[in-house]
Amino acid sequence: MRATLASFAAAATLALAHATAAAQSVKWDMPTAYPAGNFHTANILMFAKDVERASGGKLSITVHENGSLFKAPEIKRAVQSGQAQIGEVLISNFSNENPLFGVDSIPFLATSYADARKLWQVSRPAIEAALNKQGLKVLYAVPWPPQGIFSAKSIESVADLRGVKWRAYNPNTSRIAQLVGAQPVTIQAAELTQALATGAVSAFMTSGATGYDSKVWEQIKYFYDVAAWLPKNVVFVSKRAFDALDKPTQQALLKAAADAEARGWRESEEKTAWYLEQLRRNGMTVSKGSPQLQADLRKIGETMIEEWTRQAGAEGAAVLAAYRK
């Protein structure tokens, strides 16, 4: 009898605890810009699951992928203004706000995973501080695979890009178009397949991942694996939303974020060769590009690092010095 009563009491306490947890459960919307099968998106879905589990159901995150809730360029503002609580952005999309946001998209500054990691380590404090001033708390960042050139026609040097309709995804890729004399059109990944189908663009730089996600081989026959930079997606949360969580839930979120960062870097690197293999399997010619093309691109990189250094001032100079140490 006593045992029954005790277990009844325990069950009642548990039920009450569950009811309380459910009553206090917080729901966040998380807009992202990239498609369902993409490795960043898969990583985010796992992150959301980890948060839900580790918080004991107190925090649940609904992921809205592929620009379905907010388009890529709108996600940052949506989180800043509280229309969404958490989001993922390509941080270099916002380099017009702050040159530091674009440091990972300067051609040939950091071209390997090891260098990209070092660049993130040395730039993270300044980027975090800048976002913090905008009411955003950085949770983690994950790089895209190295950026190469996709083109409908074969190219031997950057002269072959003159006049071409060039898809840009951030200010730096628009600047490259200007420097090579191509016509830049800004198109986010979610609209790339359509832009290719309608002939709006015929060349661009991105990763094998986005080439694969967008099935670019219908129109694009060449990929030049020049590995010019590894841009990053940053996941951040509204500071107000974060501060409203209790301590254990904040801890659960931060732990899941650290795990997502480690997992994302690993996945990105491990899948790089696989993506290029898929391009080949679908009939594309994948090469390193001619020595002339590589030399031309390096020159563009030199111009852009000079321009960036001028824009980024003392803070930028400190980041570069730390990176080159």
Among 51, 126, 189, 253, binds ligand PCA (CB under 6 A): 189
Which residue stretch of 74-82, 111-119, 205-213, 240-248 sits at the interface with ligand PCA (rule: CB under 6 A)? 205-213
> In the bound complex, what is the minimum distance in angstroms from residue 42's beta carbon to ligand PCA?
15
> In the bound complex, what is the minimum distance in angstroms from residue 167's beta carbon to ligand PCA?
8
Nearer to ligand PCA, 41 or 206 (CB): 206
Among 85, 98, 207, 249, binds ligand PCA (CB under 6 A): 207
> In the bound complex, what is the minimum distance in angstroms from residue 144's beta carbon to ligand PCA?
3
Which single residue brings its beta carbon nearest to ligand PCA? 207
Among 28, 101, 144, 275, binds ligand PCA (CB under 6 A): 144
Nearer to ligand PCA, 209 or 252 (CB): 209
Site for ligand PCA in 40-99 (CB under 6 A): 90
Nearer to ligand PCA, 74 or 315 (CB): 74
Nearer to ligand PCA, 120 or 144 (CB): 144
Q: What is the 3-state secondary structure (H, E, C) of the chain?
A: CHHHHHHHHHHHHHHHHHHHHHHCCEEEEEECCCCCCCHHHHHHHHHHHHHHHHCCCCEEEEEECCCCCCCHHHHHHHHHCCCCCEEEEEHHHHCCCCHHHHHHHCCCCCCCHHHHHHHHHHHHHHHHHHHHHCCEEEEEEEECCCCEEEECCCCCCHHHHCCCEEEECCHHHHHHHHHHCCEEEECCHHHHHHHHHCCCCCEEEECHHHHHHCCHHHCCCEEECCCCCCCEEEEEEEHHHHHCCCHHHHHHHHHHHHHHHHHHHHHHHHHHHHHHHHHHHCCCEEECCCHHHHHHHHHHHHHHHHHHHHHHHHHHHHHHHHHHC
Nearer to ligand PCA, 85 or 210 (CB): 210
Among 206, 249, 268, 272, binds ligand PCA (CB under 6 A): 206
Residues that bind ligand PCA (CB under 6 A): 90, 144, 169, 188-189, 206-207, 209-210, 231
